[in-house]
Amino acid sequence: MNILIFGPPGSGKSTHSRRIIEKYNLEYIASGDIIRAEINKGNALGREMKKYIEKGDLLPDTVINTLVLSRLRRKRENFIIDGYPRTAEQVLALENFLYDHGIRIKLAIDIFISKEESITRISGRRICRQCGAVYHIKYNPPKVPGKCDICGGEVVQREDDTPEIVSRRYDIYINNVEPIIKFYKGQGVYVQINGHGGIEEVWERIRPLLDYIWNREKKREEFE
């Protein structure tokens, strides 16, 4: 089961990804986590990348392709990729890689929310510094304020989660997503999910879809 999940900032894609990996025991490949890990190394490439992220810009395709695909090389099947590909160039790089390794994307989940909703959600978002778990001060606060429920790590706001930067990231996302949607529609694996509403509500829109694909793939394996 190989899945892509994408959506504008604040769509809840990483929250739902975490549920999906737990339920189906998939590898979680989050482009945002990979980028932040690279920045934290503090080398020249990391410093260069930080400039893009601070402005809310996309990283150059060659940089992000190299980072994500080298991660995929280690784990070739049963993954969910969160936040990649984001441009037509990235779709091309990913699909070439998958084609060379005989892998197919089985589901491309697009969680859509409005710009207004995106800004509201992101400005209240808090992240665990240690394990990356996502919280929201209003909708999903940690049990102990400032402390992660899962690992006890410090829960903080990210520097690039301001309304101005989110608004810019939203526009960039929308301006680039069309060819990605077209491609995966063409593959017959694209599904758009309404991302408005609570986490449980949105999860109930995603879950039946996953169960369906999971059962179908299992049947296919048995048949072969």
Question: Is 13 one of the annotated active-site residues of the chain?
Answer: yes
Query: Is residue 150 at the binding interface for Zn ion, with CB under 5 A as the rule?
Result: yes
**Residue 28, strand partner residues:** 80
Question: Is 76 one of the annotated active-site residues of the chain?
Answer: no
Query: Where on the phi/psi map is residue 109: left (φ > 0), alpha (ψ -120 to 50), or beta?
Result: beta
Q: Which of 18, 50, 71, 86 is catalytic?
A: 86
Q: Which of 76, 129, 158, 207 is catalytic?
A: 158
Query: Is residue 144 at the binding interface for Zn ion, with CB under 5 A as the rule?
Result: no
Question: Is 125 one of the annotated active-site residues of the chain?
Answer: yes
Query: What is the closest distance, in whole angstroms, from the C-beta atom of residue 21 to Zn ion in the complex?
Result: 15
CA distance 147 to 143: 8
Q: Which of 13, 18, 71, 121 is catalytic?
A: 13
Query: Is residue 148 at the binding interface for Zn ion, with CB under 5 A as the rule?
Result: yes
Binding segment for Zn ion (CB under 5 A), chosen from 27-35, 139-147, 151-159, 176-184, is 151-159
Question: Is 71 one of the annotated active-site residues of the chain?
Answer: no
How many positions of this chain bind Zn ion (CB under 5 A)? 8
Query: Is residue 5 at the binding interface for Zn ion, with CB under 5 A as the rule?
Result: no
Residue from 151, 156, 174, 209 binding Zn ion (CB under 5 A): 151
Binding segment for Zn ion (CB under 5 A), chosen from 43-51, 64-72, 147-155, 201-209, is 147-155
Q: Which of residues 83-142 bind Zn ion (CB under 5 A)?
A: 128, 130-131, 133
Query: What is the closest distance, in whole angstroms, from the C-beta atom of residue 129 to Zn ion in the complex?
Result: 8
CA distance 128 to 81: 20
**Residue 211, strand partner residues:** none
Q: What are the residue numbers of the active site?
A: 13, 86, 125, 158, 169
Residues near Zn ion, by CB under 5 A:
128, 130-131, 133, 148, 150-151, 153
